[in-house]
Amino acid sequence: MSLRPQRLPELRLARRNTALLIIDMQYSSACPDQGVCARLKALGDQVVAQYYTDRLRLITPNIRRLLDAFRSLRMEVIHTHVMSLTRDGRDRSREHKDLNIHRPPGTMEAQIIEELAPAEDEIVLSKTCGSVFNGTMIDYILRNIGIQNLVVAGVVTSGCVENTVRDAADRSYSVIVVEDACATWTPEKHQAAINAMDETSAKVKSTDEVLDMIGRLPEENRS
């Protein structure tokens, strides 16, 4: 018996059934000068702060390229961000309470960064947990709009991204993780999460590979 792991089938994308899911690219977690980056620097954790900051400067333009491509073809775009329903955060998950993760409504840290700000009529889902499938009605929404395939980007690779990808796969969505459009705290954590998802819960692709796939969609799939 071969010990070679099974590979997931290649995805058959179409405009009508594929969405870009951008996870938690907000000021608290995706801005090099604010939020977690500023706190890491203040704590003296310069190695992690520098790596994560550099990674954000790589992935943000890549996510923007994906965003522009999806918008140009009128394909669905969904944003998530961490934001409590209450000012004191009493609605948060126990995990977020234990980790002191609290983004009150109306604060800058809860807002999605300007470079990736949602366009009019794009879906934005607030959550107080890791996986968007556990804290929102995303599964209900995706099925209502006919989405079967998810292209996933955002932060952090080893946390909310991986949790979301695994939950999506368990719910029978086909998933692409865009490796150079995701970030986490260290290169080792990032690569471990990518390796864990690859060919089990998702296909792992680069931004260029996904853009090429989208650009080659047959015309009948774009209308």
Whole-angstrom distance between the N-terminal and C-terminal Cα of the chain? Answer: 46
For residue 48, tell me if it sits in a domain.
yes
- pLDDT at position 222 is 41
For residue 221, tell me if it sits in a domain.
no
CATH number for the domain that contains residue 142: 3.40.50.850
Structure tokens at 148: 């079967």
Return phi, psi of residue 126, to 5°. Answer: -95, 145
Highest mean predicted confidence (pLDDT) among 4-8, 34-38, 154-158: 154-158
For residue 35, tell me if it sits in a domain.
yes
For residue 118, tell me if it sits in a domain.
yes
For the CA atoms of 199, 181, 134, 89, the dihedral, rounded to the nearest 10 degrees, stands at 150
For residue 120, tell me if it sits in a domain.
yes
Confidence (pTM): 0.94
Instruction: With CA atoms as reference, report the closest residue to 158 among 48, 44, 20.
Output: 48
pLDDT digits (tens, 9 = 90+) for 141-186: 999 999 999 999 999 999 999 999 999 999 999 999 999 999 999 9
Per the structure, the complete domain to which residue 47 belongs is given by: 15-216
For residue 223, tell me if it sits in a domain.
no
CA 16, CA 129: separation in Å to the nearest integer?
29
Per-residue confidence band for 45, with pLDDT thresholds at 50, 70 and 90: confident
Give me the number of domains the chain comprises. 1
For residue 63, tell me if it sits in a domain.
yes
For residue 222, tell me if it sits in a domain.
no
CA 197, CA 62: separation in Å to the nearest integer?
20
pLDDT digits (tens, 9 = 90+) for 59-89: 999 999 999 999 999 999 999 999 999 999 9
∠ Cα 23 205 68 (to 5°): 55
Per-residue confidence band for 223, with pLDDT thresholds at 50, 70 and 90: very low
